[in-house]
Structure 1
């Protein structure tokens, strides 16, 4: 499959788009003032050892804000060396870095308290950037990626990428590297090494060995905590990791970056130098290649399918859920619901795999395909999904489709997803995706009137709130306000505030935030008693609240039911 690498380097960030057959397949972003740490090597100091978690926290120096996280299986000497070559080499084919961190469930042969002590200096490499409230993850098993191989100084072994299928070629590469590698040092031979000539591979091995010697020299010269070696920046990593035989061209819109990339390519990959192109049109490069519209779509929750179906992608803290829906797709050529559902799922399987790469969604992922009754159809969809994932350089692990149409999978995560990188939590809902309804806020206002109405010194109680909330109070709850006026012998006036958010209100001079804080404090001290007999409730209002919640559940079930009639 031919691809084009498009680099937008003008401005404060560098964006690299991988375009496959005219569609955006992957996007990498590096901000010049906020480069990621993956691949960087640090002299750190152990700040805490947690035997109960079998992990440690490592201080990486004053320029890294949060302490890094180190699993016991990532500590040199833990007995995990044999596992480092069990995984496929796909992670190291990505410009995100060459993660070699071990899974949490794998237990090391030795305990972390036997290997590390607080205050101990340690040499580590970042394998996963800090995400959210989590600090960076590091490993003691340092690795240096080259074009054709990955150098691992702490492991005396040679591995070959599982993507190289020819046993003859695997044997040739292994024997060649074994003959030239430094004593007690390990290498993983990358996919790009397939069919590379002997001199190219030897030069790659020699370059990485010399680079490691230089890193060790720097480490010996400086005993301060901090950065010892920084990985290449994004444009050069892309040349190293993504410029391949199936790359038709690499187009760059910035003169300085173009010259750097051209010089780097000429020195290390001369046969690809002619494919580096300078883009000098006035039209923005991402507009020219029609990337911007796809990029805007890539942060949307809903993803349309060409047939009329659609995906809904919800990224959460614990996992990502992807729901497949038939939408307007009716498969006019078939009168069989099972066939319609299967065709929709086959189309969705390709798009789900594409979205995982494009959005860089990692961690636990659950995909809810439309239910299929026949085992043969479930297998057909799973095979199509597995094939679509084969283009993904990130390591994936996928379970079979269950009878409920669910697929559980994991995808290796080394950096922020596209949504995390390009968006921020909504200041109104704090990232929850929902806000209180105007009816709920109106009810809160009325409860506060019941709570504090008798304490107001004036003969009038002012209710200040957003216009929509004011409308609910003035129209739907006017009878209940009249009841409260009689009860407290005070006039109640609703005052709309046009600039306020829906959840903002003020009752008799007391703001909603102050009220919420007082309620939380009371609950924390066991002061949250019932309302007792404090006045009449509004039965009509409470009935509407309950009915609205129930109708919401029914709407969700009906929405699901439209795609689940095959099993009814």
Structure 2
């Protein structure tokens, strides 16, 4: 099946959204009823500093949170923070004090005043149109605004409504003068996130049973396996441990001199999608197929290009003395194995 299809459905009682591209599962969002959603905003209470880690533990309505900030904070002080990712079992919720109010077209940035248009929009008349919309909608507001790339060609009234909705939410959160620990705004669920972030033209399926009808459930069965097939008969095994995610690349039945570089290049192209669908982050170590050192640079170039289009922040760290390649990836989603357990 060619084209893009967005399916909004449920896995049991849990809300979920899937993006199919040319008949293959390209992205998956699953709600986490037992964990706070990314984007949730708390009024938390500073608890105790951890100077060795350069941060502060906070008390939040959903348990202990960790903020990488100490300066200006004292135990017992209330502070507004936003959830940035998912915590491993037994660890604190990662949060930031730099709040963002994000929707499909607009991002309100309270700590960064000014009106900004996505650099992906290069057409000057279109940038002028969007800047005019931004000036009218913000109307002297003290917060900053970023208009996202999907604003290009979008209806001006829809953009204005989006800006105003985020402005109202930001004002409601930031003007609350209470000092009690509280959840001030819930993060977006999978269906809203799909509308917000999957902005390219697509068929939308909302009927119950859409996952089964469009092959999402079959794809999920494959994701529960450690082995992920690669082109040319190669494969990679993706095995999360408590400390890191190990990825082992195998050449399969190919015994040619170029088998190693071909398998590794296939891994580079497939890895962002494989990690994204499985919800894996943290430290990632690639045990690549044997290849000459002269082929390392092309591999890194391919890996960098593949992650450039991935939404989850990933740092390409480099080679270890043993010849492994390391990455550090933000824990932006809960591991699929935990969500479907």
Matched, 1:356 2:314: no
Q: What does 1:88-487 align with in structure 2 at a 5 Å threshold?
A: 112=70, 114-161=71-118, 164=120, 166=122, 168=124, 172=128, 173=130, 177=134, 180-181=137-138, 182-216=140-174, 219-220=176-177, 223-242=179-198, 244-247=199-202, 249-254=203-208, 284-330=209-255, 336-337=256-257, 339-373=258-292, 375=294, 377-399=295-317, 406-423=324-341
3-state SS, counterpart of residue 367 of structure 1:
strand
3-state SS, counterpart of residue 31 of structure 2:
strand
Distance 1:179 1:389, change over 3 A: same
CA shift at 1:58, angstroms?
A: 1.4
Matched, 1:54 2:10: no
Cα distance in 2, alignment partners of residues 405 and 168 from structure 1: 47
Distance 1:170 1:346, change over 3 A: farther
Q: Normalising by structure 2, report the TM-score.
A: 0.86
Contact 2:320-2:326 within 8 A present in 1 as well: no
More helix per residue: 1
Distance 1:125 1:170, change over 3 A: farther
Which structure has the higher relative contact order (CA within 8 Å, separation 6+)? 2
Contact 1:379-1:401 within 8 A present in 2 as well: no
Matched, 1:42 2:42: yes
CA shift at 1:150, angstroms?
A: 1.0
Contact 2:239-2:246 within 8 A present in 1 as well: yes
Contact 1:372-1:405 within 8 A present in 2 as well: no
Distance 1:126 1:369, change over 3 A: same
3-state SS, counterpart of residue 115 of structure 1:
coil
1:511-567, Cα deviation, whole Å (9 max, x unpaired):
xxxxxxxxxxxxxxxxxxxxxxxxxxxxxxxxxxxxxxxxxxxxxxxxxxxxxxxxx
CA shift at 1:228, angstroms?
A: 1.6
Distance 1:246 1:390, change over 3 A: farther
Of 289-298 and 344-353, deviating more is: 344-353
Contact 1:371-1:403 within 8 A present in 2 as well: no
In the alignment, which residue of structure 2 is the partner of 1:25? Answer: 26
3-state SS, counterpart of residue 318 of structure 1:
coil
Contact 1:2-1:246 within 8 A present in 2 as well: no
Contact 1:9-1:253 within 8 A present in 2 as well: no
In the alignment, which residue of structure 2 is the partner of 1:67? Answer: 64
3-state SS, counterpart of residue 212 of structure 2:
helix
CA shift at 1:325, angstroms?
A: 0.7
3-state SS, counterpart of residue 9 of structure 1:
strand
Distance 1:117 1:374, change over 3 A: closer
Q: What does 1:4-19 align with in structure 2 at a 5 Å threshold?
A: 4-9=5-10, 11-19=12-20
Q: What is the alpha-carbon root mean square deviation over aligned residues?
A: 2.9
1:81-107, Cα deviation, whole Å (9 max, x unpaired):
xxxxxxxxxxxxxxxxxxxxxxxxxxx
The structure with more radius of gyration: 1
Cα distance in 1, alignment partners of residues 306 and 333 from structure 2: 22
**Aligned positions, number:** 338
Contact 2:38-2:188 within 8 A present in 1 as well: no
Distance 1:179 1:24, change over 3 A: same
Distance 1:36 1:119, change over 3 A: closer
3-state SS, counterpart of residue 370 of structure 1:
coil
Contact 2:285-2:325 within 8 A present in 1 as well: yes
CA shift at 1:199, angstroms?
A: 4.1
3-state SS, counterpart of residue 354 of structure 1:
helix
1:80-135, Cα deviation, whole Å (9 max, x unpaired):
xxxxxxxxxxxxxxxxxxxxxxxxxxxxxxxx2x4011111222222223321111
